[in-house]
Structure 1
Amino acid sequence: MTEIVFDYIVIGGGSGACATAGRLSEDSTKTVLVLEAGGEGKDWAIRIPAGAITMLPTKYNNWAFQTVPQAGLNGRRGYQPRGKALGGSSVLNAMVYIRGQASDYDHWAALGNTGWSFNELLPYFKRAENNADFTDAFHGNNGPLHVGKLRTDNPFQQIYLNAAQQAGFPLNNDFNGVSQEGAGTYQVTQFNGERWSAARAYLEPHRATRSNLHVMTGAHVTQILFEDEEVAIANQKRAVAVKFTHNGQVKTARAKSEIILAAGALQSPQLLMLSGVGDRTELEKLGIPVVHHLPGVGNNLQDHPDMVLNYTANSLDLMGFSVSGAWRMARECWRYITKRRGMLSTNYAEGGAFLKTSPELPSPDVQLHFVIGVVEDHARKLRWGHGYSCHVCILRPKSRGSVRLASANPHTAPLIDPNFFSDPDDLEVMLKGLKLTQKLMDAPALKNIRTSALTDADAHSDDELRELIRQRADTVYHPVGSCKMGLDAMSVVDPQLRVYGVKGLRIADASIMPTLISGNTNAICMVIGEKAAEFIFNEKHDET
């Protein structure tokens, strides 16, 4: 079996992984290996923002997981797309740059996670960010992650904003500024009209110039290896190597210093359990030798449940299929080639809003994504004509789910159970959010341009709307929390992201979030990676 040796091994190539590896490789005396199961992440479908439509509904650069049947969704299986390429889910997401609310992180700190309050994290957000539009106390302008306004020049954005004002919602020019509340257009992770994934931010600029940074794609890690009990220090085993498949061969990489697990909220707990770290009873059922009993692994899964309303409209400013639309898109292709502007630079979810379902709430509890096209079943169902959609998701769901092993085979997908609407309060918040969304969609600016309502035309009473939610709701692609950070018995990592009960292993991805943030999760994942690298640097400095 081939074995290679590095100081640090980063498992995964997603947002947290890229940030961790990019920062660790700044120390030229230490070697860093990144192992990504997918490809290089340089496809045209990734670089051109509109190309996401080829990936989200398919297995192209996408793990395309399914959940177990969801009782809260009338027994339906949910869909869980996850990026399978260097850059992780930042290669196929809607590129929306959102940090969440300050109270999200202050809550983390209140749970005992020292160093994770908003004021303590803001410098890391700013360090990561290179914002083309805002130069104030909330934004950075020199980081590796390009952030800027959309370049679609789409007049339909103004129709949406007019409707928001007519519905009585305030407008917000910067969801990452003083306040999150209101409606506006999203800032996105792009540069010159191209998607700026985490890999483009943290890895691509350095792969040719840093000889200590090594990236292997097509490398699927199947097990973390620990040193034998008899040589363990203080009765704890140490993570020393990883086993992975590459080009049809089984290989091993050994870490002289640390292993950083960053495979995401669905696959990080899976790999821990496959490696013997998890609930003892469950591991023994599958014949997996127990390295360390850590019952929190795979628990506390959280996700933003989401509902989509769809409408048709006769406007070529909206995505869709028609003869006239094909001619328009041909012109837009030339515009993108020559100017990197126009419809091919769209993230689809061009508009958004953060709203309160009750005026007495201290902050918004639902988020909207306004899409310049009809979205049905995660774009897996297409229809003739043009239209628009609006997602509504609840920001702080109470329901908790899990990630479990389906088998001891590392190539078998895990059992994913978001447990949507298991807490009845979530359904009631979604109902209120749906009504707010209907109010916005029925404002004159939008109602006067639509030709039909595809989703909610026949649902009027609260009970009918609740049933509609159960029939149509699913994820808005923000799974977190399955290896939560904290101090209680169900925590998996400590506030320095070290896995409890073993040495030499940290986690740096969305799985460590104790609770969901109020918005899209890509930006905070990169900050988690930034923090992980700093923890490692500081710890090594203290040792010397």
Structure 2
Amino acid sequence: MFIMYFLSNFVSNLTSDMTGLISVVTAYVRTAAIFFLGTYSYENSDLPIEELYDFVVVGSGSAGSAVAARLCEVRGWSVLLLESGGTTPPEAMVPGYNPFVILHGVQPMWGYKSEPQKHACKNYAGHQIPIPRGRTVGGSSAVNFLMHVRGNRRDFDRWAALGNPGWDYDSVLPYFKKLETYRGEVTNLTAPYHGYSGPVVVEGKAWGTDVMKAFLKAGKELGFPTIDPNAFTQIGVRRCHMAHVTKVLFNHDKRAVGVHYMKNGRQHLARVRREVVLSAGAIGSPHLLLLSGVGDKKHLRQFRIPVVAHVPGVGQNLQDHPGIFGLTWTVDPGRATTFGRHLSMAAATKFAYHRQGPLTSPFGPEGNAWFSFGYKNDPEWPDAQLVIVSITPALDSGLLISDTLGYDKEFSRRYFGPLAGQEGINMGPYVTVPRSRGSITLRSADPKHHPVIDPNYLSHPEDVEILVKGIKLALAVGNTTAFKQGLGAKFHDMVLPGCEAEAYGSDHYWACFARHMVSTVYHPVGTCKMAPASDPMGVVDHALRVRGVSGLRVADASIMPVIVAGNTNAAAIMIGEKAADIIKQDWLITIPLL
């Protein structure tokens, strides 16, 4: 435990040696996590070659893990779950450490980057942003910030109204309840909306800084209620709830009969008796379909890929919540999150022996709030989500966070330099149901090459309007007594580089701010759109069967026709749970009533 002692004294005096810092932090979090949890491995180096399975599930993320686990419940069925990454790193198993997996870029990440953005991301290097996605057992759920938000009931009712029977809120609610063991606060009104015996434990944020308390007080000060966003209303304020497959194989009848995958540098074949299920996520699933000959025929022929089925919607309809990280306030010392507090001997001891303290919660996130600005004809359907984190991009004096977010180095030095090393907060609005649409397309026919990822952020002007209103709301929260007097919060009101021509504080200025500072909030969905046959851009039907072929389904966030108004992890698990029941029913397995 010497390294813990060393770090507890070192982190308060960050150096400019980024390589050394990364090495030290990496060694620390990994050593500490192994001390807490021990070592373990999910890998099976003796996996047989050309074995026949009933089902092959591609991807062990939030949805794929649920699909595979539930299919394994049927006696006599054999299920192969293929994951491109390896064992989840030990540091990802400690809530307070898992953001460091993203920060120091270890193996469990895919390393995706967007294409240069025409309408947004202007203060990011090359107008591009990193798009972190998990490449490990658990997928992105192994490295995310543990926020459990289902979305709004109207999101799912809209899915059904678009021609997808069985996906309305009343139909999916039993699956949300089935997947969770809820240990948070309940009332007579909220208790019926939760489950109490599922595989996913959901509980209130175990530990928080003074920022979280001030955020809840600020909500009350502005007249917003404290809510349970996974119950009957979503408008208000809440603390946070926290093997590489290369091709699908088809026979002459266009039925999926197996997959090729790479393991230890060698190509293998896994064949199926029944079905292949793609759960590789909103980037991986359409990429794999395209590589396998399912997609727009013109696009496939461009890369000399034989066309199995002309499905032009594959890779289209990409949606993500565009959000802002960089709207910052400084606070009095001791009020917000610090590296010293998370990487200290005291924190390590509390977690190791009592499962208490700052390491029980992710690094930074404190609370969420949802607001309606009247863009929908329903005041209970939010237009924006406000996320508060108790760090700023300059907390580490520009050593790790800025590069991880993808900021242009000169911009980061100029704008965030005055905040270097200071405690502070970031309140970032994001658009809950954006109008902008992007795409996933092929870069080459080589499965080792990442696809072309173009989120096309802020291509629709309404998204900019909502972000402007969200920024102004964040400023109102920061101006409350709870923040100004309770935290000593002071807004970083330096004019944003690139927006000098606009009148500071005007709507035009904040629109410029949004276009320069918007980025991903890690919620890509929609690229294998679920839709009826009448929609030419649909990819799967309401039973998640891929068009133009048989024996192949997609079950992950890519099937969402429209993104949900909240963090997407819970909805992805629900999709996996429901997909497993759909598959069982299609194979005449009796499903217990939920």
Per the normalisation by structure 2, the TM-score is: 0.81
What letter matches 1:495 in structure 2?
H
What letter matches 1:427 in structure 2?
V
- Partner secondary structure for residue 115 of structure 2: strand
1:454, distance to aligned residue in structure 2 (A): 3.4
Determine if contact 1:311/1:450 at 8 Å carries over to the other structure: no
- Partner secondary structure for residue 107 of structure 1: helix
- Partner secondary structure for residue 155 of structure 2: helix
Deviation sequence 1:348-376 (CA, Å, 0-9, x none): 21211011224975222100111121246
- Partner of residue 532, structure 1: 579
- Partner of residue 80, structure 1: 131
What letter matches 1:453 in structure 2?
F
- Partner secondary structure for residue 300 of structure 1: coil
The equivalences for 1:214-363 within 5 A come to 219-227=243-251, 229=252, 232=253, 237-308=254-325, 309-321=327-339, 325=340, 329-347=344-362, 348-358=364-374, 361-362=378-379, 363=381
1:379, distance to aligned residue in structure 2 (A): 5.4
Name the stretch that deviates more: 258-267 or 157-166: 157-166
- Partner of residue 93, structure 2: 47
Distance between the aligned counterparts of 2:330 and 2:385, measured in 1? 22
What letter matches 2:93 in structure 1?
R
Distance between the aligned counterparts of 1:395 and 1:451, measured in 2? 27
Task: Structure 1: state its 5+ residue gaps.
Answer: 189-218
Query: Which of 444, 454, 460 lines up with 2:492 in the alignment?
Result: 454
- Partner of residue 168, structure 1: 223
Distance between the aligned counterparts of 1:109 and 1:418, measured in 2? 25
- Partner of residue 418, structure 1: 455
Deviation sequence 1:259-312 (CA, Å, 0-9, x none): 000000011100000000000000001111111111000000011000121222
- Partner of residue 195, structure 2: 140
Percent of aligned positions that are identical? 39
Distance between the aligned counterparts of 1:142 and 1:263, measured in 2? 27
Determine if contact 1:13/1:263 at 8 Å carries over to the other structure: yes
- Partner of residue 531, structure 2: 486
Count of matched residue pairs: 501
CA 1:44–1:241 in structure 2 vs 1: closer, same or farther (change >3 Å)?
A: same
The equivalences for 1:102-141 within 5 A come to 102-134=153-185, 136-141=191-196
Deviation sequence 1:220-271 (CA, Å, 0-9, x none): 00111111x2xx2xxxx01111111101111110011100000000111000
Distance between the aligned counterparts of 1:388 and 1:259, measured in 2? 45
Determine if contact 2:209/2:337 at 8 Å carries over to the other structure: no
The equivalences for 1:331-480 within 5 A come to 331-347=346-362, 348-358=364-374, 361-362=378-379, 363-375=381-393, 377=402, 383-448=420-485, 449-450=487-488, 452-454=490-492, 459-480=504-525
What letter matches 2:219 in structure 1?
A
Deviation sequence 1:175-198 (CA, Å, 0-9, x none): 11111111121222xxxxxxxxxx
Distance between the aligned counterparts of 1:430 and 1:396, measured in 2? 12
Determine if contact 1:153/1:341 at 8 Å carries over to the other structure: no
CA 1:288–1:34 in structure 2 vs 1: closer, same or farther (change >3 Å)?
A: same
Name the stretch that deviates more: 116-125 or 450-459: 450-459
Determine if contact 1:125/1:527 at 8 Å carries over to the other structure: yes
Distance between the aligned counterparts of 2:138 and 2:560, measured in 1? 19
- Partner secondary structure for residue 468 of structure 2: helix
- Partner of residue 36, structure 2: none
Determine if contact 2:342/2:358 at 8 Å carries over to the other structure: no
CA 1:531–1:82 in structure 2 vs 1: closer, same or farther (change >3 Å)?
A: same
Determine if contact 2:98/2:143 at 8 Å carries over to the other structure: yes
Per the normalisation by structure 1, the TM-score is: 0.88
Distance between the aligned counterparts of 1:311 and 1:330, measured in 2? 28
Distance between the aligned counterparts of 2:432 and 2:555, measured in 1? 22
Task: Structure 2: state its 5+ residue gaps.
Answer: 1-47, 394-400, 408-415, 497-503
- Partner secondary structure for residue 50 of structure 2: strand
Higher strand content, 1 or 2: 1
Deviation sequence 1:60-119 (CA, Å, 0-9, x none): 211131111111113711221101111111111111111111110000000110000000
State the superposition RMSD in angstroms.
2.0
